[in-house]
Amino acid sequence: MSEQRDQASSRAGGAHYLAPGWFTRNVANRLVALVTRAGVSVLGSRVLEVRGRSSGQPRRTPVNLLTYEGRQYLVSARGHGQWVRNVRAAGGELSLLRGRSRTLYHADELDPADSVAVLRAYLKRWKAEVGAFFDGIGPDSTDEEIRRIAPRHPVFTLTAR
C-alpha cells in the first residue's frame, strides 16, 4: 500500500494521492456511479463531471457531496488525484449529476488552513468509508492534527451556477 501511495504521489508531481485499487476502480466506483445516475443518492453521492485537462472530453467519477453550514463542498479523500487536477484545469467549472438531474457549479479551492472544520464534518459523515485515507485522523482529532493533514486533502466550496 505504501508503494502504491509513493508511485501515485510521484505521478502526481509530488502531491499526495492514493490511487484506488482494482476493486474500487472496477466494482465499487462503477456501482455507486450506476446507482447515482439512476437517481439514488448513496449518502450524498453524486457523479462529478468535469472536462479532462488533456483530452477536453467529459470525465466522470463518483464523489461525496458534503453540505455543511448551508454550503456545499467536495473533499478529495484520496488527495490530489485526477478529478482534482481536472477541476483546477477547468477553472473550477463542473457539473454534479444524480439521475437525470445536472447541476452546474463553480468550485473554489479552500486554503488548507481554512478547511479544518469542513474536513471534520466530512470525516463525521464518511469516516467509515474514507477514514483509511486520513492517516488515523478522525472527526474527534484536534484542530492541529486535522490542520497537519489538510494540505493532502483538497477541499472545494461549490457555488451553483
Bridge partners (DSSP) listed for residue 17: 79
**pTM strictly above 0.75:** yes
Smallest CA-to-CA distance from 87 within 122, 53, 37 is with 53
pLDDT at residue 16, rounded to an integer:
77
Q: Return the DSSP state at 27.
A: I
**Rounded Cα–Cα distance for residues 16 and 58 (Å):** 24
> pLDDT tens for residues 83-134?
999 999 999 999 999 988 999 999 999 999 999 999 999 999 999 889 999 9
Quick one: pLDDT at residue 24?
A: 56
- Give me Rg for the CA atoms of the chain: 15
Q: What per-residue confidence (pLDDT) applies to 45? A: 84
Question: What integer pLDDT is reported at residue 55 of this predicted model?
Answer: 95
Convert the pLDDT of each residue in 62-73 to its tens digit: 999 999 999 999
Domains detected in the chain: 2-160 (2.30.110.10)
Q: CA-CA distance, 157 to 67, in Å (whole number)?
A: 10
- Asked whether the predicted pLDDT for residue 2 surpasses 70, the reply is no
The per-residue pLDDT for range 134-156, each reduced to its tens digit, is 999 999 999 999 999 999 999 99
